Structure 1
């Protein structure tokens, strides 16, 4: 299967998993037809068939001849929890199962969605363009969206971006893979801040990229002497660092620390890939982002829309002022077929200011839920966990106050249809074994206090 089909297939699969979970009951429910879904998601029927095929293999749906596909009733077998697999494999296997609650997710859009505005903008565009949108061949992404992103990242006449320096692709990880392959990073060494999102870590590992981890201190700052040592000792090809907000801990470096880190990276001539996937989820502004301090000739910016707009807008994007021919050659070769109407709809949300209005409200909602989760943690887990309230994002990074086997905590909660992300998932070198991430971007109609009490019981049982 071609790579572009892989990306479309993954996107459709994620959409269907969410759809099945939303309609989960004790009875069998009919799924949309292949043709309906193909029209709704603007992909080929064969792509829908591939996604349905995997869901059928997993037992989440069944096909009835001459009738269609049906979502199966919720069921859970604790003994079938992917025994023998890695911790990450078991997490992925179980979080997709019916009736399971993910306590460590990273989906801020669940608290406040812009899906309705996105769909209404699409309908308006389709009325404006009653015929199929004839945008010509745009392998680098829709020009209107690329222009909107360039404008969004432009600070002034000197620090500016242009549409030809922006590339739009299927999703964030797909764009990171493009960076690794286009810059020939396979077999080289990349520096990351730790804790780091597990999807990024595992993708780098799968692509045979050596990862060097730079742990954050208790105060959320980087130890500059350690960074200096790593840059001197290792042939670092690229540093992948957040724009301002660590997406796992929700902490932010002090301005002086950020400037000191940028000075070291500039002095060593290190290429920097700024991961801006969570940059706009900080509750309050606090000085310049990393990209404003890094040599622009050695800077790449990676971002996506899914954290804000949800799975209906999974697209990732890349900004770079160098290697034009390399990026263009890669995108021309892959020829990603992304829906032009949806890209234009996202661009209209950006240009009209509706995205900024939504972000402001989303940040307020996240902060309120963060405070609520902090109160519940103090009430039910105060003797078991210590933590600092984050300054942004969708989760709380907590550490056990007593030595526990966090894998045992994971297994115990799994029997209660509750999935957590132990801290070791956010490292490749065995760091953070006494940590876990607790999300406050979840369904608050459920008994959140009960979930935390179950976590407390699991921590007590796993005490060494």
Structure 2
């Protein structure tokens, strides 16, 4: 504990020590923790310091106290026979929330460098400028200042401009997409999506009864334009969901020639486009042309979220649409999202004041360094086992096993060693990408990346084919 005093408050060191004891205990049974005096003697700190650390853990629900008995580690949920007969995605989500896990699958780019501090500082300043009013103006589609800032950010010319009335802000991306599914009447309709596709979007479309048609990537990571045209000829497609610049988890982007060819094809078939702009701010080339620059604005909608590049303090989702104004306003009013107007104003100031663009330069560089390190280790350790698709941005890397392998078995073997990967089957509803994984170097905790990748290699070699 003496060494910890140089940089931290002593109670923080005690807190971390206790958290480690709780993690090591694991299991589903309650575990008695050391007494205040035992810990004070063991760590050479005061009893009051230990008591304060325990009180923090108690507020977090990680320990509880029993009068005249002491503190106990809160029993954690157990996952008996994890994954047997259960949903794989649910297993990934639940396991990721267990303490001590190495998340070799996390897709939370902003966690590397969140904008929490500047955002909350702005919020505190705004709270002094805008005291709470007893009757505030209801803005069901989002705070006007933020809608104005977004409209300005998305406007690129006098011919291709957006206005505040075209912008709709919701509490999160899922809620916004649910509204779009209702307004566009997509239930039972045919919708084409790129594949692999974000599992949040896939599961939402599936749960809403949308008939999802997957347009798969080619082996080398590109997309097959003749295959897309064939789908458009064969199916009564209501809408196509395409990435703006960066297609995740693949990490690839359309070339300008591809963007123009896709735009011409969709114009011929009169197909509506829902553009996924969630990762565009994370593309290595920030000056890349967006797909929407080539599309007919009469058949275009765009959606995104702040969470990928600002962080968890900005979970809002938003959509830009020049159409269905009455229906969108009605649905946003009925949904009654409870959004902090001050938080929205603070985000607007980040956008309009240039602070976000400075942050994005730093975040893109840091993500690039993490990806480069992960790719280097993968190629050094598993170059004869995995094909690595080098991404053009974002936080993750898409890989393919060079031999057919049961990735569910790989997942289970690694989970038993407290490592979580994301099997490729999660990114398809039609059983595609069975030999693929999405990996990330954002959150491997205190574990050595070389060692973790070594364990991944062991799991790949030991798992049977499919």
Q: TM over 0.5: same fold? A: yes
How far apart are the structure 2 equivalents of 1:264 and 1:396? 30
1:381 paired with 2:382, answer yes
Aligned with 1:239: secondary structure? strand
TM-score of the aligned structures, taking structure 2 as reference length: 0.84
SS at match of 1:438: strand
Contact residue 281 and residue 309 of structure 2 kept, 8 A = no
Within the alignment, does 1:288 sit opposite 2:289 as a pair? yes
Over 3 Å counting, the alpha-carbon distance change for 1:230 and 1:379 in structure 2 is: same
* Equivalent residue, structure 2, for 1:391: 392
The alpha-carbon distance between structure 1 residues 64 and 139, as it changes in their structure 2 partners (threshold 3 A), is farther
What do residues 24-62 of structure 1 show as CA deviations (whole Å, max 9, x unaligned)? 43248556999xxxxxxxxxxxxxxxxx9xxxxxxx757
**Matches of residues 46-125 of structure 1 in structure 2 within 5 Å?**
72=73, 79-125=80-126
Q: Report the equivalent of 2:312.
A: 311
How far apart in 1 are the matches of 2:378 and 2:112? 19
Shift >4 Å, 4+ stretches: 20-24, 27-34, 60-66, 70-78, 132-135
TM-score (norm 1): 0.84
| Residue 30 to residue 209, structure 1, CA distance change in 2 (3 Å) | farther
Q: Is the 8 A contact 2:423 2:434 kept in 1?
A: yes
User: Which segment is superposed worse, 321-330 or 381-390?
Assistant: 381-390
- Distance in 2, Cα, partners of 1:395 & 1:133: 46
Count of residues in correspondence between the two structures: 418
Whole-angstrom CA distance in 2 between matches of 1:149 and 1:247: 23
Task: Name the CA distance, whole Å, in 1 between partners of 2:317 and 2:436.
Answer: 29
Choose 128-137 or 367-376, whichever is displaced more: 128-137
Please list the CA deviations of residues 249-297 of structure 1 after superposition, one character each: whole Å capped at 9, or x if unmatched.
Answer: 1111221112111111111111110010001111114642111111101
Distance 1:414 1:78, change over 3 A: farther
What is the DSSP-based 3-state SS (H/G/I as helix, E as strand, rest coil) of the residue aligned with 1:167? Answer: strand
C-alpha separation in 2, matches of 1:116 and 1:351 = 17
Name the counterpart of 2:437.
Answer: 436
Residue 306 of structure 1 contacts residue 314 of structure 1 at CA under 8 Å; is this kept in 2?
yes
| Equivalent residue, structure 2, for 1:25 | 20
Residue 121 (structure 1) shift: 0.7
| Contact kept? 1:133, 1:340, Cα under 8 Å | no
Distance 1:190 1:61 in 2: 44
Partner Cα separation in structure 1 for residue 253 and residue 220 of structure 2: 9
List per-residue Cα deviations over 1:99-152 (Å, max 9, x = no partner). 222211111112111111111111111122244596411111000000110000
CA contact (8 A) 2:423 2:437 kept: yes
For residues 223 and 334 of structure 2, what CA distance do their matches in structure 1 show?
39
Matches within 5 A, 1:301-340: 301-340=302-341
CA radius of gyration, larger in: 2
Partner of 1:43: none
Q: How far apart in 1 are the matches of 2:394 and 2:453?
A: 20
Q: State the distance in 2 between where 1:306 and 1:253 align.
A: 24
- Contact 1:189–1:236 (Cα < 8 Å) also in 2: yes
CA contact (8 A) 1:62 1:72 kept: yes
Whether the aligned pair in 2 keeps the contact of 1:217 and 1:223 (CA below 8 Å) is yes
Residue 362 of structure 2: aligned partner: 361
2:4 — aligned with what? none
User: Deviation at 1:424?
Assistant: 0.7
Q: Aligned with 1:238: secondary structure?
A: strand
CA distance in 1, matches of 2:264, 2:62: 54
Aligned-pair CA distance for 1:407:
0.6
Alpha-carbon distance, 1:22 to partner: 13
Residues of 2 paired with 1:21 and 1:413: CA distance? Answer: 25
CA distance in 1, matches of 2:405, 2:65: 48
Using the TM superposition, name which of 125-134 and 211-220 deviates more: 125-134
Pairing 1:244–2:239 present: no
Cα RMSD over matched residues? 2.6
2:423 alignment counterpart: 422
Question: Which residue pairs with 2:208 in the alignment?
Answer: 207
The 1:207–1:103 alpha-carbon spacing in structure 2 relative to 1, beyond 3 Å, is same
Q: CA deviation at 1:231?
A: 0.8
| Gaps in structure 2 of 5+ consecutive residues | 1-14, 23-32, 34-53
Query: 1:202: how far off?
Result: 0.6
Partner of 2:144: 143
Are the counterparts in 2 of residues 21 and 98 from structure 1 also a CA contact under 8 Å? no
User: Contact 1:262/1:293 (CA < 8 Å) preserved in 2?
Assistant: yes
Aligned match of 1:14: none
Q: CA deviation at 1:72?
A: 4.8
Cα gap change, 1:79 to 1:146, in 2 (>3 Å): same
Instruction: Measure the CA separation in 1 of the matches of 2:64 and 2:72.
Output: 9
Corresponding residue number in structure 1 for 2:38: none
User: Unpaired segments of 5 or more residues in structure 1?
Assistant: 1-19, 35-51, 53-59
Q: Distance in 2 between matches of 1:298 and 1:155?
A: 18
